[in-house]
Amino acid sequence: MSARELRTDLAIIGAGPAGLFSAYYAGFRGLSTVVLDSLTEVGGQISAMYPEKLIHDVAGCPAIRGQDLVDNLVRQAAEYHPTYEMGVEVLDLVDEPDGVAVVTSGPTVHARAVLICAGAGRFRPRPLPAAAGFAGTGLSYFASQLEDYRDKRVVIVGGGDSAVDWALALEPIASAVTVVHRRDRFRAHAASVEKMKMGSATLMTPCNVVELHGTEKVEAVTVHDEAADTTVRLECDEVIAALGFVADISVMKSWGMNLLGHKIAVDERMRTGRERVYAAGDVTDGPGKVRLIAVGLGEAATAVNHIAHDLDPDSPLFPGHSTDAH
C-alpha cells in the first residue's frame, strides 16, 4: 500500500455520472472531495462501454452522446476542484474518531464521510488472452479519445455493443477498421450490426486474435480462422479489446453495510447502515428502486445534502437555489 495520504471532507467511490455529480454538489455545499475509481478514465460504464451512443432520458437533453454527458459532468464539478484518483482499487473502510479511512491500492484517504457511487461495483475489462505476454503499447480496452485513432489501422476484438459501436465511430476516422469476432453472429443491437455491415469495416468471423506482435508497440496481430483452421498476420497500429467488463461488489461485503443481494440497501437519506457511509446510484437498492442515470443523479444530490447536514447539523438540509449562488 502506498504511504501517500489525503484528507478530505467527502470521499466518493466511483467516477460514473452519480459520482461526478456528487463531486459537483459536494462542492456546492462547501465540501472538499476526493473521487476514486478502479478505471483509468472517468465516466464509469458510459465511457467504457457506450461513449458514442445517444442517451435520451437525461432531463433537459433530448439526446446527448454518452461521452458528452461525462465531459459536461466533469466541467460542472471542475468549479470546485475535486481531486481524482483513478486506477486505484478501494480495499477497505476503517473507522476513525473523526471519520472513515478509505484504504486503497494507491493513497489512503481520510474522509469525514464516504459516498459510494460504484454502479455495478468494481469494474474491470475482460482481458484479451492473446495479450497475456504482450508488454508494449497500442492495446486498449476502450477508446477514450477517438482522435487518437485518426488515420490508423485499428483492430477491434469482440462482437457486442461496445465492439460494434467502436467500429461505427472509428470508421470515418481510422484509415482501416477490422472487427474480429469468434462467432458468425454479433450480440450487438441488430440495427447497429446492419449499419456496420453496410460500411467499410472488414469483418473477420468466426475468428480469434491469438497473438499480438511488436516490441514497444503493436505492429500486427495473428488471427485464427476457426472455420478454415488457418491463420493470417494482420498489420495494424492499434488494438481495442472490446470483450466486455466484469463487475462485482464482493469487496464491499465486509464493509459493514446493509445489503440486499448484490446491492447496498439505503434509507431515504441514502445511509447504508454504517456510520458516515452513504451510497447512491445503481449500486443501491430499496423499495421501488429504478436504475436510470436520471435517478442516480437525483440520489447523488439527496445523499450529498444529507451528508452536509449530518456533518454540520447547523447547516440546512435544503441547499438553496443554485441560481442564487451563482
Report the greatest alpha carbon distance in the chain: 73
- Burial classification of residue 266, based on how many CB atoms lie within 10 Å of its CB (0-12 exposed, 13-18 middle, 19 or more buried): buried
Choose among 128, 116, 163: nearest CA to 303: 116
Q: Which amino acid is at 79?
A: E
C-alpha angle 142/144/150, rounded to 5°?
A: 100
Residue linked to cell 447504508: 272
Is the torsion defined by CA of 15, 303, 73, 57 positive or negative? positive
Give CA separation, 156 vs 97, 117, 233, 281, in Å: 50, 30, 15, 31
Is the torsion defined by CA of 149, 150, 152, 155 positive or negative? positive
Annotated binding-site members for FAD: 37, 45, 50, 90, 123, 282, 323
Give CA separation, 174 vs 18, 58, 147, 198, in Å: 33, 31, 9, 17
Give CA separation, 55 vs 23, 51, 98, in Å: 22, 10, 40
Q: Which regions of 87-200 does DSSP assign to beta strands (E)?
A: 90-96, 99-104, 108-116, 122-125, 139-140, 153-157, 176-180
Annotated binding-site members: 37, 45, 50, 90, 123, 282, 323
Give the list of residues 6+ apart from residue 2 with CB closer than 8 angstroms, or none. 104, 105, 106, 107, 108
Determine contact, residues 166/188, Cβ cutoff 8 Å: no
Question: Rounded to an integer, what distance in angstroms lies between the CA atom of residue 51 and that of residue 65?
Answer: 7
Question: Rounded to an integer, what distance in angstroms lies between the CA atom of residue 278 and that of residue 27?
Answer: 17
